[in-house]
Amino acid sequence: MTNIIEWDKKYSVDVPELDECQKQLMDMFNTLIEMKTSKADAKDVANLITEINEFSKIFFSKEEKLLGSKGYPDLDIHSKAHRRFIKKALGLRREIAEDVDNLAIEDIVELQNWLITHFESTDIMFIPFLRLHRYVDECENKK
C-alpha cells in the first residue's frame, strides 16, 4: 500500500504522551488512505476526517499547553502552524461534504506530508528546550 507511514523514533519529541499522539494521528491517516483506496463508505471517510480534525485539536492543544507552561519562545509561530493544519483538515472535510469523490488521495497525502514535515522540522526545534527545562526541574527537585 502506498503512502502508509510508520512512526519512527526520529519523530519523537521525548515526551511519551505527545509521541503517542503522533502515533495515533499517523494511524488515522493510514486508515484514511486505506479507506480511500478501497472505496470505503463515504460517510465513514467523512467521519474519519472529522475525527482526525478533532484529535489534532486535542493533540496540538496538549503540545501548546506544555510549551506554554515552560515559556517556549516560539510558541506563537508553532501554534500558527497547528492552526494551518487544522484549517487544511477542515478544508478536506468541506471538500467531501457534497461528494466523497471530491477527495483525492493526493489531498490526503499532502496533509499527511505536512504533518511529517512538521514533526521532523518544527517539533524537533523544541526538544532541546524541553530537555533543558526537564534538567533544571530535576536539579531544583534535588535541593
Q: Is residue 90 part of a domain?
A: yes
pLDDT at residue 12 greater than cutoff 50: yes
- The set of cell numbers assigned to 123 is 517539533
| pLDDT tens readout for residues 28-59 | 999 998 888 887 787 888 889 999 999 999 99
If pLDDT is split at 50, 70 and 90, which confidence band does 1 have? Answer: very low
Please write the tens of the pLDDT for every residue from 101-128.
777 788 888 888 999 999 999 999 999 9
Q: Which of 11-15, 43-47, 66-70, 99-103 has the lowest mean pLDDT?
A: 99-103
Q: Is residue 9 in a domain?
A: no
Q: Give me the domain span that covers residue 22.
A: 14-142
* Domain assignment of residue 61, yes or no: yes
In a domain, 4, yes or no: no
CATH assignment at residue 135: 1.20.120.50
45-52, long-range: CB within 8 Å, 24+ apart, which pairs? Answer: 45/96, 45/100, 45/103, 46/93, 46/96, 46/97, 46/100, 49/89, 49/92, 49/93, 49/96, 49/103, 50/93, 52/25, 52/28, 52/89
8 is a domain residue: no
What per-residue confidence (pLDDT) applies to 2?
61
Number of domains present in the structure of the chain: 1
